Structure 1
Amino acid sequence: MTAQPEQLLENNLISQLVGLGYERIILREEKDVITNFKQQLEKHNQVSLSDAELNQILIYLNKGNTFERAKTLRSRIPYVNALGENKTIQLIDQKKWCKNEFQVANQISMKGNYDNRYDVTILINGLPLVQIELKRRGLELKEAFNQINRYQKHSYGTGFGLFQFIQLFVISNGVNTKYYCNGRVKDRSFKQTFFWTDITNELITNLADFADDFMNPCHLSKMITQYIVLNDTQKALMVLRPYQYYAVEAIINQVKTTHEYGYIWHTTGSGKTLTSFKAAQILTDIPEVHKVVFVVDRKDLDTQTAKEFNSFSKGSIDSTSDTKTLVKQLAGDRKLIVTTIQKLNNTISKSYYLKDMAGLTNQRIVFIFDECHRSQFGETHENIKNFFKGCQMFGFTGTPIFAENAGTNEYGKRTTQMLFGKPLHKYVITDAIKDGNVLRFAIEYIRTFKQKDQILDIEIEKIDEPEVMQSPIRQKAIVNHILQNHRLKTHNKEFTAMFCVSNSDAAVAYYKLFKKAKEKGLHDLKIATIFTYAANEEQKKNKDYKLYANDDALGMVAEDAGPYLSKYKREELDDFIDDYNKMFQSNYSTKDSTLFYQYYNDIAEKVKNQQIDILIVVNMFLTGFDSKTLNTLYVDKNLKHHGLIQAYSRTNRILNEVKSHGNIVCYRNLKSATDEAIELFANKDAIGEIIEPPFEALDAKLKEKYDELIAIVPTVDNVNQLQNEEEQAAFVKAFREVMRLINKMKQYGDFDFEYLPITEFDFDGYKSKYLDLYEANKGLTSGATPAHSILDDLDFELELIHRDEINVTYIMNLLIRLQSAPVDEKASQEKIIQDLLNSDIQLRSKKELIDKFMQKNLPFITNADDVMEVFDDFIQTERKSAMATMSAEEQLDSDKLEHIIGEYLFTNRQPLRDDIVGTMLVKPKLAERSNKIERITYKIYDFVNTFVSGFAGRA
């Protein structure tokens, strides 16, 4: 059989689950689910519940969102029995996770806004906790993902809302299977769905194999009770990925069975903080473990990690503000502590703390060291090991120290394995790229200087004499190159960039060049810089920071260790911070370490929030800093080994479809160093897996995908002749592949439509037809029940459509030209405007508006200089009219509606349901409320897209 029907897939899965120990049960509708829930609850708790007692429990359970219900699931549920006694019951056993009742049902029907029938449901103690959605082979997995979103939207809240207790979803088409956490639909992304693997990171994609491993009752219950984190800050559930699970299990097993050390090698960007938190959290529950101490090597990471840990579990830890506080915490009752290695070293090396610390010498303390490739190779490590004789040490690193990249100090060459023992689990960069957890790198090597009028080839070695590399002429050429290419690299500043340079002299020089160019009006970029102006007291006394005795000249990436800068450099830095203060109305300086530390933190936040376009750094931010919005690293610094991988990895965090890779622009010869680093931390054959192919290879791939497109629709007009949804879906998939490739290619300096197999004219034409299909199949504002279309489940990836260089102002300039154009050119210029309106996703929402202006207003404007002013008045009038129409059609309080729209624009958060209900002059019946809220929400979005987005600073 070439295509496995969904029913056969479902039947086979259920048979397999029964074989694994699930009880097969027939549940047709909610009343059956409730009856079964009562029976299973009684069985699990060994009690008998009356109908009145059950009703109390159901009412108690039916409140809160998915996050709050996840907390309820993990707590005991109160009720009052017939004798008036206060009792509680347990919904799931979290400590003995195998001691729960496991059932499987299929085709449960729930009626909410629409009738929905769910494929396969896993019930634990009668509660539906796992939903499995199946599609036949050959269909995109995202179709199952989108269908679950519809279920949640339309029927999960029905009745007593028991389906809102679902913790995990599983989606499969038989050959590909993924899992993910429940949560708010609007926050859910297909990028947060995960494949399961074995312990060696080999994918388990086949449904039958996945069921055997992941759906085993004990394992599934363990994942739900032990490996889902309730993030208090985001109010979201987070499930661990397989490599995180295996790492935690390995550490737990090591602690329970031996006193040996170990380390986890998980590549940068793979979520080591979540992994280490979960390991620490579980370790604190082991009675033999006295304390768990999570150790970082920088003050900023101390605060940052404490913040992240507390987001995973509110109030789980306090960060240690000073050594005295740390001593109190170590001597106190708190089992989980986060601190810096410097403060930890102080507690055992300062004589006045030793009395308080003496009782800990032989205690079973587990130390978890973050980024253990740094600061672990000298005196401090020995001090900790010698003082805490009963301790057990574990390290986390994305780039271990091997013999090949080890520095030399008074203890000789020391590797990560020499200090921590064997790796307990590995997940290297090639694994992460294969799984889609981090992006690949697109690396360009730029020639930057001439000799006797001949450009020297970047591949020539040993051209790094300071007089050449720090030449003002060369530095100016680099700044010019960055300014010419920055918008291209960052998708018109949708993303941000870092520029790492060799030393503070270079940072000063480059900052001044960018500032001078800005004063000349050559750019409008927000540039900031930060570098160490003095080593702090702890670092000066910590010998571990001098890892690379002979590598300072190479600009190795290690956190700043000094030496002190001259007074001149500090004054320069203060001048730059003054510029920053003026730009952001702040008050930072280098006058004391607190203000400088606050400056550091503020820069970190502003880079993450895209408020800084380019951050110039020497060593800071090149390790341990995560920003999904950063996609480009400019490099004028010699890097190698773990320093190179760490620096490059600032750019490769997953964000959206537009961010297809991390851009690395090298102004130095790092080709050999890059290949060597990849070979060291992956393998010698991994270069092609980690680095994006050259432009020529993408061009060849585009030719292949374009041929597939024109085989379906030879011309743009042929899209109109597609006979059915299957043909339309084939076009959508084919053109989507073309868009993805062009999105990547646009970030290369060689990009030019003139040399591509598809012309820009045809690309825009296909894009218009693509958008027509998208809009025809959405019907977002319709209150009627839509017929299901196979196009509904396709991901159109509209992020790839927007043309950053075209906006309302650009269209207005075309309208001005149209107004003053000769009569014989008006038709052609009007067509240009219409084509642009049709081909851009943001401008299409304004098409009707601009068309109306062109027909009703433009012909009567006699002076081209008046076009902007007349258009502004026109927009204001139309905006007020549209607001009044929406208020009248939906019977809404116009002032409250305007307030909601203002809040949405300010916070960029979806309007709350209660706020929308608050605008209604006539409250609808309960059964009609959800439909009306949904309709009004989409009308608000449509209003903003039409009358606000793109008009900032105009009307």
Structure 2
Amino acid sequence: MFATKAIERTLEGGIKKGIIWHTQGSGKTALAFYNVKYLTDYFQTKGVVPKFYFIVDRIDLMDQAKREFNSRSLMVHTVNSKDELVNDFKVKKAIHNLTGNREITVVNIQKFKDDTDVLRVNDYDINTQRVYFLDEVHRSYNPTGSFLANLFNSDRNAILIGLTGTPLIGKDRRSSDTFGDYIHKYYYNASIADGYTLKLIREGIETKYKIQLEQALKEVEILKGDADKRLIYAHEKFVEPMLDYIVQDFVASRKRFDDHTIGGMVVCDSANQAKKLFEIFISKYNPNQKTIESVQPYLMVAEPSAEYGNYQSKLTASLILHDIGNKSDRKQEVEDFKDGKIDLLFVYNMLLTGFDAKRLKKLYIGRVIKDHNLLQTLTRVNRPYKKFRYGFVVDFADIRKEFDATNKAYFDELQGELGDEIGTYSNLFKSKEEIEAEFADIKEKLFSYDLNNAEIFSQQISQIKDRKTVLEIKKALENAKNLYNLIRLYGHFDLLEKLDFKKLNHLYNETAHHLDKLNLIETMQNNVDTTNLLNVALENVLFMFQKVSEQEMVIADQLKDTLRKTREALAGNFDQKDPEFISLYDELKRLFDKKNLDEITQEDMKRNIASLQQIFDKVTELNRKNNLLKAKYANDAKYARLHKRIMEKGTVSKKESAIAESLMDIKNQADDKVLINSKLLDNEGYFEKLMIRMVIESFDKIKIVLEPESAKYINSCLVKEYINEYQGTPKW
């Protein structure tokens, strides 16, 4: 809103061009979207019709912008050739869609080329105002080139709003010299404070691996002599240990953050290194993965580490280079990465700018990247994602010198460019002072607890009944885990000696388990709806005993396993309003209400195992019967539930076969209508009227005359089932 108001003030001042400097990841496309709406209303008061254009410099960014605008319900018109652009300029209307909805035209700057006179030939319409949003004005908009000149000449009266996250501010060329003064500025610190972007953590590679890579480098240099460094860095003797480190670090990161959805990207030293990394990855880590182009097996690889072998699933990867596959193939691979179907990307020059994937949280830098391109690359991992507080950069190339130089150049230039505002521009990386302050705060919050002895710590937190207190402990431990790499990076080795960071994972897990137990107790005491019970991971309740013998541990494992089986059986039931299911739930509730599971004796455990086994057996039998009934309705759980409700009511018929015949007739008719037009379900009242006739007629066919109350009950249940399914809401 502040930027929008700044644009309005600029226009009111008679100025028609300027730059919006919003840091990378802060939502410049979203800004354009909101201004289409705002400026449409603004110009309407002046009797002017605006025509909006969003101009990009790459085809993939054109597709990305189109998706983002469409996701916000803004109509998008695309221009795919110069002739289409010329025709678009000649058309005296602001929109191309027939619905009258707001619209923006997305076009590649390269369409503004050659024959500039043709672009000028348009009967000027005083009531039309073109508004150009130019994306990433730090890149391809060279004032000495023809594209920008053609754009300016296309309509000298157009409003030009440049969007950038890292403007060019060097001595030779500044973005502001071309596009005018800054309309609005939004730096890293403000974006981070507002939650639009994350700070970054640079992780230097561990010493033992650094030594291993240096040794590999020496071996290759002996083999290759004075060969080009790029050839050396692409040699398998160097590439394989580098890849091993990346895979092990990536797997360890997923485990450490307890999030197996995050993705990683490896920025390689050369295209050849990227190809070799990918070749060895496929041969060593996932030989069965399908790839765009066939990959020759690399037979000299060592076995994967035990940590990778124990990981929950094989990792997948993609090689994104301009000469691998075609544009369509690469586009699909990138989309698959965004959707979580691919774990790692190996790149050289592609995807370093403009690529936006929120799940990308680990960036492996294999070469030094220069100037503002370095900032562009680093900010690929600064998008907010779930509960992550940082993006992580693993630095193989030691970018610190280049980053410091780039950052210093920015600060020096910003001093002249922005004057007093330099104080509001903050470093992209977390500062040493911030780390020290945060660590001191964590130590203070955990002061009361024994962090050196896991058993004592477990006893201490098990006595806490206040959920909020346990939540604070969990958060502090999580923050401490995140700071581990920062402490190593800045050489605070005295802190590492005072605290066993490997033990922190164990303490964190115990705290999380205790929190699960408190959540479960709260759920039981508040008698929350049964569906909430299934969201509590019962099998993760932590069993802690003052005296633990081998026999007790065996029994505890058996209890935990029985609890897990029971939970899975309960979760597998699709009719949780069934009186029989509710009865089983109540049995489970009574079992938990007796006493805390972590304070019970061997005898208690044995009794609980027997009780749980009985519940498990009953739920399994109930599920078996439910599935048999569901099969009668082509595995449609909606009608199986409705069948059971009708039988429980007992006012229609005692013959299940007759009820099934009627319901199948209704199902066939209703499914056909919904399939043809799912929008029927947006109007519940209309859908109810449509269905009541089907219900009555279908039962009439088998000579069952429904009482009005019965007809209304069946129809109400049926309509609710369809609408819940359509809206994705829980079962009634």
TM-score range (shorter-chain normalised) is 0.5 to 0.7
Structure 1 residues 360 and 628: alpha-carbon distance in aligned structure 2, compared to 1, 3 A threshold:
same
Which residue of 514, 519, 524 maps to 1:774? 519
Among 365, 369, 378, the alignment partner of 2:130 is: 365
Structure 1 position 291 matched with structure 2 position 55: no
Q: CA deviation at 1:761?
A: 5.5
**Pair 1:619–1:784, CA change in 2 (3 A):** closer
Q: Distance in 2 between matches of 1:761 and 1:341?
A: 53
Residue type at the aligned position of 2:134: F
Q: Is the 8 A contact 2:317 2:345 kept in 1?
A: yes
Gaps in structure 1 of 5+ consecutive residues:
1-244, 405-412, 456-462, 534-572, 575-589, 591-595, 786-791, 793-797, 812-822, 860-870, 902-910, 943-955
* RMSD of aligned residue pairs (Cα, Å): 5.6
Aligned CA distance change for structure 1 residues 527 and 939 (closer, same or farther; 3 Å): closer
Query: 1:758 deviation in Å?
Result: 5.9
Number of equivalent positions: 554
CA deviation after TM superposition for structure 1 residue 341, in Å:
3.9
SS at match of 2:383: coil
Flag the 1:679–1:898 CA change in 2: closer, same or farther, 3 A.
Answer: farther
Task: Note the alpha carbon deviations across 1:244-265, whole angstroms, 9 max, x for none.
Answer: x111122223223313421000
Aligned twin of 1:269: 25
What SS does the corresponding residue of 1:438 show, helix, strand or coil?
Answer: coil
Partner Cα distance (1:830, 1:752) in 2? 38
Instruction: Report sequence identity in percent.
Output: 21
Per-residue deviation, 1:302:
1.9
Q: Does 1:666 align with 2:395?
A: yes
In the aligned structure 2, how far is the partner of 1:484 from the partner of 1:401? 38
Alpha-carbon contact 2:317-2:346 (below 8 Å) kept: yes
Q: Paired residue for 1:613? A: 343
Which of these residues, 686, 705, 716, is aligned with residue 445 of structure 2? Answer: 705
CA distance in 1, matches of 2:554, 2:238: 44
One-letter amino acid of the counterpart of residue 439, structure 1: L
Q: Which of 637, 647, 657 is residue 377 of structure 2 equivalent to? A: 647
Kept after mapping to 1: 8 A contact 2:262/2:361: yes
- For the 8 Å contact 1:753–1:759, the answer to whether it is kept is no
- Greater CA deviation, 764-773 or 434-443? 764-773
Distance 2:232 2:549 in 1: 58
CA drift at 1:756: 3.5
Where does residue 305 of structure 1 map in the other structure? 65
1:214-254 CA deviation, whole Å, 9 max, x = no partner? xxxxxxxxxxxxxxxxxxxxxxxxxxxxxxx1111222232
User: Which residue of 617, 630, 637 maps to 1:896?
Assistant: 637
Letter in 2 for 1:635: I
CA 1:506–1:886: 2 relative to 1, 3 Å:
closer
The Cα offsets for residues 842-880 of structure 1, whole Å up to 9 and x where unpaired, read as 99999989x9xx979999xxxxxxxxxxx9xx9898545
Please show how residues 72-87 of structure 1 align to structure 2 within 5 Å: none
The answer (yes or no) to whether the contact 2:569–2:620 under 8 Å persists in 1 is no
- For residues 695-723 of structure 1, what are the alpha-carbon distances to aligned partners after superposition, in whole Å with 9 as ceiling and x for unaligned? 99876654333215569x9854455655x
Distance 1:439 1:373, change over 3 A: same
Distance in 1, matches of 2:537 and 2:528, equals: 28
Structure showing greater relative contact order (alpha-carbon pairs closer than 8 Å, 6 or more residues apart): 2
Q: CA deviation at 1:396?
A: 0.4
Q: Which amino acid aligns with 2:519?
A: Y
Once residues 276 and 452 of structure 1 are traced to their aligned partners in structure 2, the CA distance between those partners, rounded to angstroms, is: 50
* d(CA) in 2 for partners of 1:256, 1:265: 20
Which residue, out of 260, 264, 274, partners 1:507?
274
Change (3 A) 1:375 1:249: same
Q: CA separation of 1:668/1:612 partners in 2, compared to 1, >3 Å: closer, same or farther?
A: same
**Match for residue 338 of structure 1?**
105
**How far did 1:606 drift?**
0.9
Other-structure match for 1:102: none
> Could you tell me which residue of structure 2 aligns to residue 249 of structure 1?
5
C-alpha separation in 1, matches of 2:441 and 2:315? 34
Query: For the residues of structure 2 that align with 1:740 and 1:340, how far apart are their CA atoms?
Result: 44
**CA distance in 1 between partners of 2:563 and 2:428 (Å):** 38
The residue aligned with 2:80 is 321
Question: 1:349 matched to which residue of 2?
Answer: 115
Query: Given the two structures, how large is their TM-score scaled by the length of structure 2?
Result: 0.62
Do 2:192 and 2:198's aligned partners in 1 also have CA atoms closer than 8 Å?
Answer: yes
Query: 1:929-944 residue pairs with structure 2 within 5 A?
Result: none
For 1:371 and 1:899, the matched residues in 2 are separated by 56
1:827 alignment partner in structure 2: 552
Paired amino acid for 1:266: H
Q: Note the 1:195-234 alignment, pairs <5 A.
A: none
Residues 424-462 of structure 1 deviation map (CA, whole Å, 9 limit, x = unaligned): 11111121112222111111123374279999xxxxxxx
Alpha-carbon offset, residue 779 of structure 1: 4.7
TM alignment of 1:736-885, pairs within 5 A = 736-742=475-481, 745=484, 755-756=500-501, 762-779=507-524, 782=527, 825-831=550-556, 878-879=619-620, 881-882=622-623
Q: Distance in 2 between matches of 1:356 and 1:338?
A: 19
2:426 to 670, 682, 686: 686
SS of the residue 1:403 aligns to:
coil
The CA distance in 2 between the partners of 1:780 and 1:371, in whole Å, is 55
For residues 521 and 468 of structure 2, the distance between their equivalents in structure 1, rounded to whole angstroms, comes to 13
In 2: Cα distance, 1:363 partner to 1:843 partner: 63
The answer to whether structure 1 residue 484 and structure 2 residue 248 are counterparts is: yes
Q: 1:844 to 1:483 in 2, by over 3 A?
A: farther
Q: How far apart in 2 are the matches of 1:251 and 1:368?
A: 12
Deviations 1:45-82, CA, capped at 9 Å, x for gaps:
xxxxxxxxxxxxxxxxxxxxxxxxxxxxxxxxxxxxxx
1:401 maps to 2:401: no
- Which residue does 1:78 correspond to in 2? none
Provide the secondary structure at the position in 2 that maps to 1:633.
strand
The offset of 1:419, in angstroms, is: 0.6
**Alignment-derived partner of residue 517 in structure 1:** 284
Q: TM-score, normalized by length of structure 1?
A: 0.49
Which of these residues, 357, 376, 383, is aligned with residue 141 of structure 2? 376
Distance 2:213 2:40 in 1: 58
Contact 1:361 1:388 in 2 (8 A): no
Matched position secondary structure for 1:425: strand
Distance 1:472 1:452 in 2: 9
Q: CA–CA distance in 1 between the matches of 2:213 and 2:251? A: 23
For the pair 1:635 / 2:365, whether they are aligned, the reply is: yes
* In 1, Cα distance between equivalents of 2:401 and 2:280: 30
Is the contact between residue 362 and residue 388 of structure 1 (CA under 8 Å) also seen in structure 2? Answer: no
Which residue number in structure 2 is paired with residue 414 of structure 1?
173
Structure 1 residue 677 displacement after superposition: 3.8
Match for residue 471 of structure 2 among 732, 737, 756: 732
| Cα deviation, residue 397, structure 1 | 0.4
Change in 2 beyond 3 A, CA 1:875/1:661: farther
Gaps of 5+ in 2: 96-102, 220-226, 288-300, 309-313, 412-421, 490-495, 543-547, 572-584, 592-596, 598-604, 643-680, 696-709
Determine if contact 1:884/1:894 at 8 Å carries over to the other structure.
Answer: no
Shift of 1:328: 2.0
Give the match's secondary structure for 1:450. Answer: helix
Contact kept, 8 Å, 2:201 with 2:486, in 1: the verdict is: no
1:527 aligns with one of 306, 310, 317: 317
Taking the aligned partners of 1:440 and 1:836, their CA distance within structure 2 comes to 41
| SS of 1:372 mapped into structure 2 | coil
Shift of 1:312: 2.4
CA contact (8 A) 2:19 2:162 kept: yes
Separation of aligned partners in 2, 1:422 and 1:454 = 52
